[in-house]
Amino acid sequence: MNLSGVLFFPVTPYDSAGALAQDVLAEHIGRGLAHGTGGVFVACGTGEFSALSQSEHARAVRVAAETVRGAVPVLAGAGGPLGAALEQARTAREAGADGLLLMPPYLTQGTAAGFAEYVRAIAAELPVIIYQRGSVVLDPATVVELARIPGVIGLKDGLGDIDRMQRIVLAVRREIGPDFTFFNGLPTAELTMPAYRGIGVELYSSAVFAFAPEIATAYFNGDDRLITEFYAPLVELRSKAPGYAVALVKAGLRLRGLDVGPVRAPLTDLTPEHLAELDSILKNGLALVGA
């Protein structure tokens, strides 16, 4: 699977009644395609994976696949209880997804062998990128064994432990080869990309691309001013409340004129004060890139 450039994680829009707004999702994804994303990850963390019903998940993936029409890979979120993850994987395959971003199992923790069997079952449906975060904290030997499972094609890191990731990357490159995909999946990943590039990880997910693709693309193309002038204050704002990693993106989209609705509980939307702060940060970033 050829993932390249800035990886796009669209939000899941809701209408005034709180239902999935499929037309808005299609428009949202279309805007991202127009700015040259290298992959679309639908119904994942930014897409409020944990808040979606199985039906909503399936419809969101279908909208993404029909909008993208093969232009770039489409991956869907899957995870939680094994039965639910398998249903998500199967409906994603039927909808036309190219692969899955595998979220951690919900609450249950087992052995490395047990996690490998969980991954093996889901990877039999579609290619899988494992998401290291929360309860999934992997050592180099475990990642090598997971990478040997047919259908396991990559690892997204949401921990930010650079020492651990350096050892994982070295072990996988030595034992498996160069085709296994790694990418930085921290919130506002741009701020930590200098460190990830230092260990050979070039790909990253961009929450900013979802609401300000002009800024995300300018950073990708080398505008380092944005680290101090845009990304650093955005990360400071994001840290002011749990769940703001998603709420900021939805608020940013609304500020840009796309009504994607609020976040779903237990997440909460920005306070008026924080929304005004986001508006100022966003305007400054857009001015810097001439947008």
Residues 20-50 pLDDT 10s:
999 999 999 999 999 999 999 999 999 999 9
**Which pLDDT belongs to residue 60?**
98
3-state secondary structure of 195: helix
Binding residues for pyruvate: 46
Q: For this structure, is 131 an active site residue?
A: yes
Binding residues: 46
pLDDT for residue 109 is more than 90: no
Q: Are 104 and 74 in contact (CB under 8 A)?
A: no
**Average pLDDT over every residue of 219-242:** 97
**Which pLDDT belongs to residue 110?**
81
Per the residue annotation, which of 14, 106, 118, 131 is the catalytic one? 131
Plot region of 218 (φ>0 → left; ψ -120 to 50 → alpha; else → beta): alpha
Q: For this structure, is 106 an active site residue?
A: no
**Which pLDDT belongs to residue 108?**
66
11, 35, 69, 176 from 65: Cα distances, Å: 15, 17, 6, 30
Q: Are 153 and 176 in contact (CB under 8 A)?
A: no
3-state secondary structure of 107: coil
Per the residue annotation, which of 14, 118, 156, 196 is the catalytic one? 156
Separation between Cα atoms, residue 235 and residue 260, nearest integer Å: 22
pLDDT band of 74, cuts 50, 70, 90: very high
Task: Report cis status (omega within 30 of 0) of the bond before 266.
Answer: yes
Using alpha carbons only, what angle is made at residue 20 by residues 19 and 21, rounded to the nearest 5 degrees? 110
The Cα diameter of the chain in Å comes to 52
